[in-house]
Amino acid sequence: MSLNVSMDGKAFSVFIEKFLVPIYGKVQSKLIDNLPAHKRATIEQLIKSASTTILNL
């Protein structure tokens, strides 16, 4: 995935949905930082839909 602009919340949601969720294995944890785009409710839902736990810094 390549962007010609800054990564915002919407772009990050697409990245999670299209690129990361399909390769997540079962019973994994993902560590995310405090970037506002990472804190969106849609991000949490997408990650949890892949049976993955979120660990916040």
Residue 4's pLDDT is what?
Answer: 81
pLDDT in tens, 16-55: 888 888 887 666 788 888 888 888 888 888 888 887 888 8
Q: What angle do CA 53, 54, 57 make, to 5 degrees?
A: 145
pLDDT digits (tens, 9 = 90+) for 1-10: 677 888 888 8
The pLDDT of residue 26 is 65
Q: How far apart are CA 57 and CA 31, in angstroms?
A: 7
Strand partners, 53: 29
Q: Considering the entire predicted model, what is its pTM?
A: 0.60
Residues 52, 21: Cα–Cα separation, whole Å: 9
- Would you kindly state where each structural domain of the chain is located, as residue ranges? 27-57
* Number of C-beta neighbours around residue 43 at 10 A: 20
